[in-house]
A and B are shown apart, each in its own frame.
Chain A
Amino acid sequence: MLTLADQTFSSRLLLGTGKFSSRQALADAVKHSQTAMVTMALKRVDTADQDDDILAPLQECGVNLLPNTSGARTAEEAVFAAQLAREALGTSFLKLEIHPDPRYLMPDPVETLKAAEVLVKQGFHVLPYIHADPVICRRLEEAGCAAVMPLAAPIGSNLGLRTKDFIHIIIEGSNVPVIVDAGIGSPSDAAEAMEMGADAVLVNTAIAVAGDPAAMADAFRMAVIAGRQAYEAGLGGRQLVAEASSPLTSFLDLP
């Protein structure tokens, strides 16, 4: 079971809700993923806009909601967004994300740490989206974050575990759950992150833009379970030379 801030979750797969072609596609993916927590963003109400309400179907699925601060470019904006999010969704869980640059969406570590320090004091359970930097992850843990969410690759890139070596270091040193976020492109990426000892993964684009999002959600569900089970079972060590798995007796040698 995944534990975040004294709350346990039945799944180690967190699902992002962006980019789905329809409400129904999203609801189907949520069900097939068997996720226990999904992210949501905030937007200004546009009076001319027809309300594309996804909240009701998500609540029907019974999943926990994890609002994000996407759109915030500074700590100050993120703190304000967090307060709005808590009021809108009635949860203290928060995915803190501050990425001022729209091309690569790299998280701003200085602003993220500043915001985390403020938000923890205000009673938020802060899950910061951050670069796979063991030092900033440690600082965020010390600030009281409920988890750290290092990126595998740029958001929505589907590039996979490009930061693998650094995620290893983060997992080794972290006393809070490590949720690998962003860039996971395939179930094998998710399984690999879980085999490495990640506590959870957050997947959005890879499922939302798949040919069959529900089937892909199912594939990710199995991959996360398999990866976790492999980690808990203890993987065998690797080496460059062969080590026979059959007895090398010389029974074929003729006298």
Chain B
Amino acid sequence: MQITVNNQIHELDDIAITLTQLLNQMNVPEAGTAIARNQNVVPRSQWDESTLENGDQILIIRATAGG
């Protein structure tokens, strides 16, 4: 299965993987993070249930320093 994360192509095993698991694999902390899937923001409460599908475009952002 192939997905893109922040415009980079990721090859994944064809095992169902949730957004929470994706964050863990990428070592991204959950606090201060938001995820959009195919240009739709996914509420934090759904990260545990939402499984990735082939072709998904995932955007992961984090809060950072700024004015």
Min C-beta distance of A219 to chain B, whole Å:
18
Residue of A nearest to B6 (CB): A44
Q: CB-CB contacts of B40-60 with A at 8 A, as 1s and 0s?
A: 011110000000000000011
A51 contacts B by Cβ under 8 Å: yes
The answer to whether A44 and B39 have CB atoms under 8 Å apart is: no
Q: Which residues of B contact A41 (CB under 8 A)?
A: 63-67
Interface members, chain B 18-45 (any A CB < 8 Å): 26-29, 31-36, 39, 41-44
Give the contacting residue for A88; candidates B33, B65, B66; CB below 8 A.
B33
Q: Which residues of B contact A204 (CB under 8 A)?
A: 67
Q: A18 and B67: CB pair below 8 A?
A: yes
Specify which of A39, A56, A80 is in contact with B66 (CB 8 Å cutoff): A39
> Which of B26, B43, B65 gathers most chain A CB within 10 Å?
B65
Q: In whole angstroms, what is the CA distance A12 to B38 when docked?
A: 40
Question: In the complex the two chains form, what is the Cα distance from A39 to B66 in whole Å?
Answer: 6
Partner of B26, one of A19, A43, A47, A68: A47
The residues of B that contact A16 with a CB separation of less than 8 Å are: 66-67
Interface residue total, chain A, C-beta cutoff 8 A: 38
* Contact of B34 with A85 in the complex, beta carbons under 8 Å: yes
**Chain A residues with CB below 8 A from B64, complex form:** 40-43, 52, 54
Contacts of A254 in B (CB 8 A): none
Q: What is the bound-complex CA distance between A217 and B40, given in angstroms?
A: 39
Neighbour of A45 across the interface among B41, B42, B60, B65, CB < 8 A: B60
Which B residues are closer than 8 A to A by beta carbons? 5-6, 8, 26-29, 31-36, 39, 41-44, 59-67
